[in-house]
Structure 1
Amino acid sequence: MRTPPIPKPVAALTALAILSVLSACGKPPGGAPPAAGTPVLGVVTVHAQPVELHTELPGRTSPYQIADVRPQVNGIIKARSFREGSDVKAGQVLYQINPASYQAAYDSSVAALAKAEASVRTARLKASRYKELVAIKAVSQQDYDDAVASLGEAEADVGSARANVQTSRINLDYARLDAPISGRIGKSSVTPGALVTANQTTALTTIQQLDPIYVDVTQSSTTWLNLKEALANGQLEKSGNGAKVRLVLENGRTYAQEGTLQFSDVTVNQDTGAITLRAIFPNPKTDLLPGMYVRAVLQEGVRQQGLLVPQQAVSRDGAGKPVAFVVNAQGVVEQRALVTDRAIGDQWLVSSGLKEGDQLVVDGQQRASAGAKVKVVPWTPKASLASVANTAASAAAGAH
């Protein structure tokens, strides 16, 4: 079938309609799309500032002083004079061993001393008389020498008897077990009526001084060497006279009292490659108990020209290295490779790749590309991409 021809008036109207549509669109189909708007990015200006560096290390608490109480004589426990878990003072009586045998030994040694001292008086008088008699030849020289020797033996016996008295007094005193230090006393391993022996391996109880208290932490020898080099070459400055230490407890709470680093061990552990550091903390309320796991936050020093940037401004390239976008003075985006030392809160400490005054892109990186021309607006931690866009729109409207 043949299509009937279109009447001339209809064809003319159709052509006129097509021309009207094309005129309204401005450009025929297939032409270039309208130019995209200039991206608006939120930036912060990088400024160098003193940054106090800290390191967080695991550790455990240990008592300032600790003393195991063990008997030094044999005997039966007659009485216990403390409450388990209480605070005791140095010199306070803890246990009383039955002293009967030691009291008897002491009395016997005292009597022996008195006898020896009486013998000395007799020997001294005899030696004195013989000295006069030998001068007039009334006794032989041999008799006089024997009298002098007897005096010397008697005096030696006195010295021995006096030592025996002292020994028996010490043993009698050992029958009373006193607290060697002040502190918190633990549980007792014996009760009245138990037999104890001198220098036994099992302690009767243990006393620990808890105020102040030590915190022992470990740090790798590599980190220690790096810190020492940073201080030596001036990258870090010591903060204050003594390094301050803060504690984070097992429940995540920060301990109220601040401690001081005391010393670092002189030997590296061969198994772990770590060095032990010891800090001391006041513990007036005994919130810290020996053996608790804690995390110690130590001051390393101060970096005077530290560069801190928001973490969200730093991304990773295909190799996993940190990179960031910077807008130069001409409003063109540049990509920088960074070297980050550590995270401090929600910021990175940057040691390379940025400089004072750089405009760092924090918001809108997905619309940024190296070499692109962009507009920038100041960014604050509370700002978002939507608010940045609104700010830019308002600025553009005001300009028109």
Structure 2
Amino acid sequence: RYENAFKTGGVTKQQLDQAKLDLVNAKARRDQARISFGDATIKSTINGIVNKRSIEPGSVVSPGTELFELVNVSTLKLRVNVNEQQVATLKPGSMIQVKASVFPEKEYKGKVTFIAPKADSSLNFPIEIEVTGNPNNEIKAGMYGSAVFSTATAQQAPIKTISRTAFIGGVGNNQVFVVKDGVAKLSKVVSGRILGEEVEILSGLNEGDIVVISGQINLEDGVKVEAIK
């Protein structure tokens, strides 16, 4: 209308430009109102059950505020730790049997979805198993479960362990005294997992070696000793 009026001399060029600017601003306010209206409707990216509500109707919230806790029990994950022998036989997609503590007689199907690229401080590898068979959602989030590995997967080579008190200056130093022919010999070993009061020995000791587990503070390499049985 303003353009027609401008052509007939009814409005000035300045009035026409102002009308166009007002139109642009009105469209911008409309678009912003649509965005605000859309933001007022909260949509979850997953299907699930509301487990906890953190707000009340009418509450004023800011970005980042937790509104609800949703639980998707149709897809559960079991987190377990495996040793290096087991992790070597696993890969993403490997099928694993899963058991829930509350249903010990039942078995569920699971699929490995994540394998940590690095071992933890205990030389175990965290993995995640997605439980794919959960009929009627009988397993709930937070329940305890266990992974059942096949014989081929779970089979381990025999391990050698010694008392952690045998190490000179702590496990990290990887030094122990070994008694050979009545003489204490300072030996270098490679330690593995710490299993309570025992430490796995990966190399440096042979089966049958006699290791000193107390009194090392008074020992030096090459000193004659007598084993107390």
Under a length normalisation based on structure 2, what TM-score does the superposition of the two structures give? 0.51
Partner secondary structure for residue 138 of structure 2: coil
- 1:285 match: 136
For 1:275, give the aligned amino acid.
F
2:125 aligned with 1:275 = yes
What's the CA shift for 1:265? 3.0
Whether the aligned pair in 1 keeps the contact of 2:79 and 2:128 (CA below 8 Å) is yes
CA RMSD of superposed structures (Å): 3.7
Partner of 1:184: 49
In structure 2, what is the Cα distance between the partners aligned to 1:290 and 1:212? Answer: 9
Amino acid at match of 1:158: L
Question: 1:19-98 alignment to 2 at 5 Å?
Answer: none
Tell me which residue corresponds to 1:166. 31
Q: How many Å separate the matches in 1 of 2:16 and 2:94?
A: 68
What corresponds to 2:220 in structure 1? Answer: none
Instruction: Verify the 8 A CA contact 2:99 2:108 in the aligned structure 1.
Output: no
Q: Give the Cα–Cα distance (whole angstroms) in 2 for the partners of residues 158 and 267 of structure 1.
A: 60
The corresponding residue for 1:297 is: 148
Residue aligning to 2:115: 264
Q: Compare relative contact order (CA 8 Å, sep 6+) and give the higher one, 1 or 2.
A: 1
How many angstroms does 1:254 deviate by?
Answer: 4.2
Give the match's secondary structure for 1:169. helix
CA contact (8 A) 1:247 1:254 kept: no
Does 2:100 correspond to 1:249? yes
Is contact 1:243–1:300 with CA below 8 Å preserved after alignment?
A: no
Greater CA radius of gyration, 1 or 2?
Answer: 1
Residue correspondences, number = 152
C-alpha distance in 1 between matches for 2:116 and 2:21: 52
Instruction: Give CA deviations for 1:47-99 in whole Å, capped at 9, x if unaligned.
Output: xxxxxxxxxxxxxxxxxxxxxxxxxxxxxxxxxxxxxxxxxxxxxxxxxxxxx
CA, structure 1 residues 285+151, in 2 after alignment: closer, same or farther (shift >3 Å)? same
Q: Does 1:196 align with 2:60?
A: yes
User: TM-score, with normalisation over the residues of structure 1?
Assistant: 0.32
Q: Secondary structure at the match of 2:27?
A: helix
What residue in structure 1 maps to residue 197 of structure 2? none
- 2: CA distance, partners of 1:155 / 1:266: 60
* Residue type at the aligned position of 2:48: G
* Identity, % of aligned positions: 20
| Alignment partners' CA distance in 2, 1:177 and 1:242 | 34
Which consecutive residues of structure 1, in runs of 5 or more, have no partner in the other structure? Answer: 1-120, 131-145, 232-237, 307-400
Tell me, in whole angstroms, the C-alpha distance in 1 between the residues paired with 2:123 and 2:25.
57
Displacement, 1:211?
Answer: 0.7
State the partner residue of 2:176. Answer: none
| Corresponding position: 1:223 with 2:73 | no
Q: What do the CA deviations read for 1:180-217 (whole angstroms, capped 9, x no partner)?
A: 4321111323444x53322263x232112111222222
> Secondary structure at 1:187's aligned position in 2?
strand
Q: Residue type matched to 2:109 in 1? A: E
1:295 Cα deviation (Å)?
A: 0.9
Q: Alpha carbons of 1:285 and 1:155: their partners in 2 closer, same or farther (altered >3 Å)?
A: same
Displacement after TM superposition at 1:169 (Å): 2.7
TM-superposed deviation, 1:128: 4.4
Provide the rounded CA distance (Å) in 1 between the counterparts of 2:55 and 2:49. 18
Matched AA of 2:36: N
* 1:209 has 2:59 as partner: no
